[in-house]
Structures are given as C-alpha cells and as structure tokens.
C-alpha cells in the first residue's frame, strides 16, 4: 500500500481526499437531521411575573401537561433516537460494507488504475520512445532532408553558380564576342569608311581626272568644232562688226546637226541666216569617239562674234 502510494502519490492523495470528503458527508448529514436536540440540553425558561390564581392554576396545569408532554416527547425522542441510532448503525455497517466494497473497488480501481497507469506509462514510454524515435526519425529525416536540401541547395547553388558561371561566362564571352564583333565591325566600318573615303577620294580623283580628261576632250573637240564651223561660216558681206548671234545646236551621236535655233538674234536676218547655215553646213561636227562624251556635246551654243 505504501509502495503503491509512493509509487502513485498523486493517485493516493486523490484517493485520500475523496475518502475524507465521503467521511465528512457522513458526519455532517447527521447533525443536519436533528437541529438543536440531543447535543444541546433544553434551557428552562424563567418567568417572574404572576398574573392571577386561575392563570397560575391553568398555568400550573399547563405546566404539569407540558411536563408530561415533555416526558413523552422525551421518551419518544429517545426512542426515535434509539431507532435512529440503530438505523444509523445499520446504515453505518452497510456503509462500512459499502465502504469496504468501495475500498475494494477503489483498490481494484487503483490497481486497475496503476496497471492502466503503468500501461499508460509504458505506453507513454513507448509513445515517448516512439515519439522520440519519431522525432529522432523526424530529426534524422529532417536532418536528412536538410542535408539533402543542403546538398540539393548546394547542388542547386552549385548548379546555379555553375549556370551563373556559365551564364556569366557566356555573357562574358558574348560580351567579349560582341565587343570583338563590335570592334571588328567598328574596324570593318572604319576600314569600310576608310575604303569608302579612299574610294570616294579615288573616285573624286578619278572623277577629277575623268573630268579633266573630259574637259580636255571637250576643249580640244570644241576647238575642232569651232574650226569646222568657222570654215563653213560664209560671213555676210558688208559691215558686220558689232553684230553677234547665238544659236543653239542639237546634235545626235555621230555629230549630225538635227536642229539649229537662234536663241539670241543679231537683229540682222542675213547675219543670223549665215550663222544658222554655218552650223548646219558644218554637220556632222567632229565628236570624241567615246560615246560617253556625247553628253557634253548634245547641245551646243555657238556665239558668233565676228572679229572676236
């Protein structure tokens, strides 16, 4: 019993408190059933006042009745008490019996409780163990997960890093490439521009040269044309000093004159006609062999100014 208490102090204490409460109930329930009797003897009432003989007599009678009644009541009260005590004893025995039973039950319950507790404890231990195990497992798992996660993360990180590195490398390469390309492009552009410039310069030079050649050709052929027209210009007789006439002459390749128009008349019909005739008669006019040069000679303005 002590071991048990020792073993289950909380349960034991609880049990004790419950018992005490039960006992308390028994005690208090009795007192409550007989208010102001047996435990406290009735106190005589003293009255000093005599009112009259009849009254005293009635009184005395009354007292006498009362005393008798009282004796009866007392006797009844005692009997009741006796009965009550007996019932009470019975009840108590029964209660004792019940109590024992209860005790037995309680003990049994206690045992059961202990067993249950043990079982519970055991279960608890198991549970705890389980829990611990689970925790441990969890921990392990967690750890593992963490580890894995870490690994994963690490891997991911590594991957990321790697990717980043690759990316960066790629970016770098790309950048480098771009830079190179840019540089190359810039270089190419510069070269191109330089080439273009050179080409432009060359072209310019070539054009200048061409232009110069063209101008030379123009100049020399202008001279030939002039000579041929002069050879064909029959100056009108008489005084022609101060007269001048400009004609616009259109040529076709080959130098044939196809149209002559007086664009600035001398005011002298015959002078004008001599001029027009000279240009028509001089047809075909000498032209450079190069057909490209023809554009220079497509339209000619002849300014006839005798005597210079």
Contacts to other proteins by CB under 8 A: 193, 196-197, 200, 203-204, 207, 211, 218, 222, 225-226, 229-231, 233-238, 268-270, 273-278, 280-281, 283, 295-308
Nearer CB in complex with other proteins: 99/225: 225
Query: DSSP letters along 9-77, please?
Result: HHHHHHHHHHHHHHHHHHHHHHHHHSTTSTTSPPPP--------HHHHHHHHHHHHHHHHHHHHHHHHH
Residue 96 is encoded by which pair of tokens? 């004792």
Nearer CB in complex with other proteins: 28/270: 270
Q: How many CA atoms lie within 13 A of 213 on its CB side?
A: 9
> Cα(22)–Cα(33) distance, rounded to whole angstroms?
17
Torsion of CA 48, 52, 57, 58, to 10 degrees: -90
To the nearest whole angstrom, how small is the minimum distance from the Cβ of residue 180 to other proteins?
25
Those residues whose C-beta lies under 8 Å from the C-beta of residue 31, and which sit 6 or more positions away, are 39
To the nearest whole angstrom, how small is the minimum distance from the Cβ of residue 284 to other proteins?
11
Cβ(297)–Cβ(253) under 8 Å? no
Residue 304 is encoded by which pair of tokens? 């006839």
To the nearest whole angstrom, how small is the minimum distance from the Cβ of residue 240 to other proteins?
9
Nearer CB in complex with other proteins: 57/273: 273
> How big is the chain, counted in residues?
308
To the nearest whole angstrom, how small is the minimum distance from the Cβ of residue 187 to other proteins?
17
Nearer CB in complex with other proteins: 124/268: 268
Nearer CB in complex with other proteins: 110/278: 278
> Cα(136)–Cα(123) distance, rounded to whole angstroms?
18
To the nearest whole angstrom, how small is the minimum distance from the Cβ of residue 188 to other proteins?
15
Residue 219 is encoded by which pair of tokens? 């100049």
Nearer CB in complex with other proteins: 28/303: 303
To the nearest whole angstrom, how small is the minimum distance from the Cβ of residue 265 to other proteins?
14
Question: Element (H or E) spanning 247, and its range?
Answer: strand 245-252
Nearer CB in complex with other proteins: 15/304: 304
To the nearest whole angstrom, how small is the minimum distance from the Cβ of residue 179 to other proteins?
25
Nearer CB in complex with other proteins: 127/294: 294
Residue 101 is encoded by which pair of tokens? 């039973």
Phi and psi, residue 267, nearest 5°: 90, -10
To the nearest whole angstrom, how small is the minimum distance from the Cβ of residue 226 to other proteins?
5
> Cα(287)–Cα(218) distance, rounded to whole angstroms?
9
């Amino acid at each position: 019993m002590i071991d048990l208490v020792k073993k289950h102090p909380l349960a034991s204490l609880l049990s004790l408190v419950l018992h005490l409460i039960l006992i308390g109930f028994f005690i208090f329930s009795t007192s409550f059933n007989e208010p102001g009797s047996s435990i406290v003897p009735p106190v005589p009432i003293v009255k000093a006042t005599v009112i009259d003989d009849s009254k005293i007599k009635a009184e005395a009678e009354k007292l006498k009745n009362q005393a008798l009644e009282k004796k009866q009541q007392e006797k009844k009260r005692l009997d009741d008490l006796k009965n009550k005590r007996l019932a009470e004893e019975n009840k108590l025995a029964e209660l004792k019996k019940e109590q024992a039973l209860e005790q037995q039950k309680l003990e049994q319950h206690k045992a059961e409780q202990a067993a249950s507790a043990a079982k519970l404890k055991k279960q608890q231990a198991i549970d705890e163990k389980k829990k611990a195990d689970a925790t441990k497992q969890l921990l392990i798992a967690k750890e593992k997960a963490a580890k894995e996660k870490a690994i994963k993360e690490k891997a991911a990180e590594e991957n990321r890093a790697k990717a980043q590195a690759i990316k960066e490398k790629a970016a770098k390469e790309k950048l480098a490439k771009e830079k190179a390309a840019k540089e190359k492009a810039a270089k190419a552009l510069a070269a191109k521009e330089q080439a273009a410039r050179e080409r432009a310069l060359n072209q310019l030079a070539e054009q200048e040269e061409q232009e110069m050649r063209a101008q030379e050709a123009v100049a020399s052929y202008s001279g030939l044309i002039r000579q041929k027209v002069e050879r064909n210009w029959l100056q009108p007789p008489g005084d022609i000093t101060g007269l001048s006439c400009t004609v616009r002459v259109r040529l076709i390749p080959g130098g044939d004159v196809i149209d002559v128009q007086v664009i600035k008349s001398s005011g002298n019909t015959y002078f004008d006609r001599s001029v027009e005739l000279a240009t028509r008669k001089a047809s075909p006019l000498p032209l450079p062999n190069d057909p490209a040069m023809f554009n220079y000679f497509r339209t000619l303005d002849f300014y006839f100014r005798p005597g210079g």
